[in-house]
Structure 1
Amino acid sequence: MTGQPHAPGGPVVALDVMSGEAGVAEAVAAADIAAERYPRLSFLLHGREPDIAAQLLRWPRLAGRARIIHSDDIVVMTDKPAHALRRARTTSMGMAIDAVKRGDAHAAVSAGNTGALMAMALFGLRTMPGIDRPALAALLPTMKSESVMLDLGANTDCDATNLVQFAVMGAAFARTVLGLERPRVGLLNIGEEELKGTGEIRKAAATLRAAALPMEFVGFVEGDKIGTGDIDVVVTDGFTGNVALKTAEGTSRLVTGLLGNAFRSSIWGKLGYFIARGALQSLRAHLDPNAHNGAVFLGLNGLVVKSHGGANARGLANAIGVAHDLIIDDVSRRISADLAEIVMARDNQPEPNAA
């Protein structure tokens, strides 16, 4: 270990510098951007010491608020989760998570292999009391602002209890990151009517309606409402959530690609682009994944934030910002308090009719 000690009393982020696709330079630059935004934030930088130290020479502000934790071993995107898990003690990713487990850091941030990160985080930190499974939550752009969606792939098959826990965690996340006092929460379903969907999703809805939580449960929401901005938290199982997320990302690329082709197709199209250039740049910025970067494994005994693998320095800094906000707002405490309310409501809830 080399470098300066942490800023006393401030939040500490363990940053996996090596595992992302952008490289060490972008990761260290991201930490410097975050250090400027959050004056009390300090870092443990996990990775190859010579590479990190060379980059720190460019960022004297960051150098005074960071320690390098050396690791030669790196989890690559093609590593199987089981293989990566066996090397958790020696990789930059595993050591960042272990720093959270030991209490040396308040959160870990990595742009590496999602499956490996999930396996290491679950094995190292375990789930919170009252949480059966962690969920992967992320911010999505909407027509109004942003919304939270979970689970995005951690759990392919979920029962009613899992969905209720996801709703509690997603609402706590939205109150922290989006600053909403009572986020609107909906269960993703094939229709808005109460009799639609599986028995498990209807059972989850009944539990959420009965609980007095700091959220507004709006019932069921269909897929075409995800992007309207009328729902703050969209809850579903990991299989459906991942399909919905990838479909939304593909649709975004389709629309922007078709617009580009249309504007390049003729002189009139090029003239139209010139006239609408400001609006198109605003649209591109709104849909930029770097602007919404920072998915979180909620429900663990510690905070782990997943950045897009190819995020640039600004995008990774945004993921670090998500970690910072969750630390400051003590999101785990919020989740625990809401879970206690759910247990109380469930104990007083009659069994729903099996329709």
Structure 2
Amino acid sequence: MTAPVRIALDAMGGDHGPSVVIPGAELSLVRHPDTHFVVFGRESEVRPILDQHPKLAAASEFHHTEVAIRMDDKPSQALRAGRRVSSMWRAIEAVKRGEADVAVSAGNTGALMAMSKICLHTMAGIERPAIAGIWPTTRGESLVLDVGASIGADAQHLVDLAVMGSAMARIVFDVERPTVGLLNVGVEEIKGVEAVRDAGQRLRGLDMPGLDYHGFVEGDDIGRGTVDVVVTEGFSGNIALKTAEGTAKQLAEYLRAAFGRTIWTRLGFLLARSAFRALKEKMDPRRSNGGVFLGLNGVVIKSHGGTDKLGFASAVDIGYDMVRYGLLSRISDDLSRYQRGMPSPPTVPAEAAAS
């Protein structure tokens, strides 16, 4: 019998706090009965809602924390006010102490990343962590990283993202050798900034059984699902993510206005209602809610701050899968294999070093 997956919850995180976190966690519990929750938050706000969800309460242990990180706090403010005492920090710390296998929060992204990096530290050989998001495509889904953990990247960081992303993709998509593409302004070898071109050359010469380098991909390839994993630095990745979310909302508004214009268009909507229901489900951001922090010595999931209980349940589901299918061990194994194959740095002659 497998051990339960222990999930630490920042109950105070997000725009709605425990009113979304608690019912969302219970929805996930129904899908994964072998889950145990460790809940952190203000007792006066969390306990009344937890008592309304007896199934979750029976599978949980609750810890009172007085401090809650606000959504508009700067990371430095959050660290000063909430380090070691906030619901966010305590959820992450539970992973570090081995009291939980994964932490899930809908709170302030910058604060969550800063606290996670300080508390859990990065894996050996990884300079900066990244956020990986699941992206709906015409083929199914793809993984995109980084979608906002940090700005800028050198070639080494992009290669690290490719290795970590392919390890996660093998879990999420159940494929042995995920295809990986570098996001660029064109597919030609000569296009793009130097860091991207350099990373492409390194990946092209990389011989790893769990990674199939496709080459450069462009922005429209993300939605097409051209590759399983799209690698980019956090600035462009976050812009791409927000643009896609805005375009989906814009398209929904256009359709709503178009089909409400006349009695004939309303009739057309009724006739095609099942097709539009399927489209709405496909484009529903709640189905793919939950960014995974990669590169840390622990698993942390970031839920969208404004999501509802269905979206938060999806984030908890992702955390469950990352633990149950061994994300950390897969990333660690792949990084070790990659780092063993890296060429040694050039030796500096003694006389040059002395000078």
If the length of structure 1 is used for normalisation, what is the TM-score? 0.93
1:99 aligned partner, one-letter code:
A
Pairwise CA distance, 1:342: 2.1
Asked whether 1:118 is paired with 2:113, we answer: yes
Counterpart CA distance in 1 for 2:223 and 2:272 is 23
Equivalent position to 1:282, from 267, 278, 298: 278
What is the SS of the residue equivalent to 2:252? helix
Q: Describe the superposition over 1:78-131 as per-residue Cα deviations: whole angstroms up to 9, x where unpaired.
A: 111100011221111111111111111111000011111111111111100011
Partner of 1:353: none
2:100 aligned partner, one-letter code:
A
Counterpart CA distance in 2 for 1:169 and 1:96 is 23
Pairwise CA distance, 1:348: 8.2
2:57 aligned partner, one-letter code:
A
Partner of 1:29: 23
Asked whether 1:258 is paired with 2:254, we answer: yes
Asked whether 1:94 is paired with 2:89, we answer: yes
Answer whether contact 1:210 1:345 (CA < 8 A) is retained.
Answer: no
Partner of 1:4: none
Counterpart CA distance in 2 for 1:278 and 1:186 is 35
Counterpart CA distance in 2 for 1:225 and 1:319 is 25
Pairwise CA distance, 1:246: 1.0
Q: Describe the superposition over 1:232-253 as per-residue Cα deviations: whole angstroms up to 9, x where unpaired.
A: 1100011110111111111111
Partner of 2:39: 45
Equivalent position to 2:204, from 209, 213, 219: 209
Pairwise CA distance, 1:8: 9.2
Counterpart CA distance in 2 for 1:193 and 1:71 is 53
Equivalent pairs: percent with the same residue? 46
Pairwise CA distance, 1:16: 0.5
Answer whether contact 1:76 1:113 (CA < 8 A) is retained.
Answer: yes
Asked whether 1:244 is paired with 2:244, we answer: no
Counterpart CA distance in 2 for 1:143 and 1:15 is 33
Answer whether contact 1:15 1:109 (CA < 8 A) is retained.
Answer: yes
Equivalent position to 1:142, from 137, 145, 164: 137
Partner of 1:318: 314
Counterpart CA distance in 2 for 1:192 and 1:345 is 27
Counterpart CA distance in 2 for 1:280 and 1:22 is 29
Partner of 1:342: 338
Partner of 2:99: 104
What is the SS of the residue equivalent to 1:227? helix
Partner of 2:353: none
Counterpart CA distance in 1 for 2:3 and 2:50 is 23
Q: Describe the superposition over 1:215-273 as per-residue Cα deviations: whole angstroms up to 9, x where unpaired.
A: 22100000011101221110001111011111111111111111111111222221221
Asked whether 1:64 is paired with 2:58, we answer: yes
Counterpart CA distance in 1 for 2:293 and 2:50 is 29
Pairwise CA distance, 1:23: 3.1
Partner of 2:350: none
Counterpart CA distance in 2 for 1:336 and 1:8 is 22
Equivalent position to 2:164, from 169, 174, 183: 169
Counterpart CA distance in 1 for 2:183 and 2:283 is 22
Answer whether contact 1:207 1:346 (CA < 8 A) is retained.
Answer: no
Counterpart CA distance in 2 for 1:21 and 1:125 is 25
Pairwise CA distance, 1:207: 1.6
If the length of structure 2 is used for normalisation, what is the TM-score? 0.93
Answer whether contact 1:296 1:306 (CA < 8 A) is retained.
Answer: yes
Q: Describe the superposition over 1:168-221 as per-residue Cα deviations: whole angstroms up to 9, x where unpaired.
A: 111111111222221111000011112211221121112212222202210000
- Aligned pairs for 1:173-212 within 5 A: 173-212=168-207
Counterpart CA distance in 1 for 2:165 and 2:52 is 38
- Aligned Cα root-mean-square deviation (Å): 1.8
What is the SS of the residue equivalent to 1:144? coil
What is the SS of the residue equivalent to 1:251? helix
Counterpart CA distance in 2 for 1:221 and 1:234 is 8
Equivalent position to 1:293, from 289, 292, 295: 289
Shift >3 Å, 4+ stretches? none
Counterpart CA distance in 1 for 2:270 and 2:53 is 39
Pairwise CA distance, 1:349: 11
1:191 aligned partner, one-letter code:
G
Counterpart CA distance in 2 for 1:73 and 1:278 is 46
2:16 aligned partner, one-letter code:
A
Asked whether 1:54 is paired with 2:48, we answer: yes
Residues paired across the two proteins, number: 344
Partner of 2:349: none
